[in-house]
Amino acid sequence: MQGMIPLVPGLPGGPELIIVLFVLVLLFGANKIPKLARSTGQAMGEFRKGREEVEEELDEIQGDAIPTDEETSTDEPEPETAEEKSA
């Protein structure tokens, strides 16, 4: 088992990150990288906001389907049964 190559490699370390950054600079140029990073951050923010909205809607739908204790409890006393009335 020790001699086996892992199917999923680990996260890139120092030398790999330097190579990736170098390739990015070559592809996009040094001036466009900040704009690219900013637009990526904005897209991630929009995605996160949309995901939260969908989760809230799903929670509301699930909340409507299952009544909570607050929805089922009322301030009115429970009706008396026939046995309680005769006692």
Position with higher pLDDT, 69 vs 14: 14
pLDDT at 8 over 90: no
Distances (CA, A) of 4 to 7, 8, 16, 34, 67: 9, 12, 22, 40, 54
The three-state (H, E, C) secondary structure of the chain, written as one string: CCCCCCCCCCCCCHHHHHHHHHHHHHHHCCCHHHHHHHHHHHHHHHHHHHHHHHHHHHHHHHHHHCCCHHHHCCCCCCCCCHHHHHC
What is the value of pTM for the model shown?
Answer: 0.45
Q: Give the pLDDT confidence score for residue 25 in this predicted structure.
A: 86
Per-residue pLDDT reduced to its tens digit, 36-78: 889 999 999 999 999 999 999 999 988 877 655 555 555 555 6
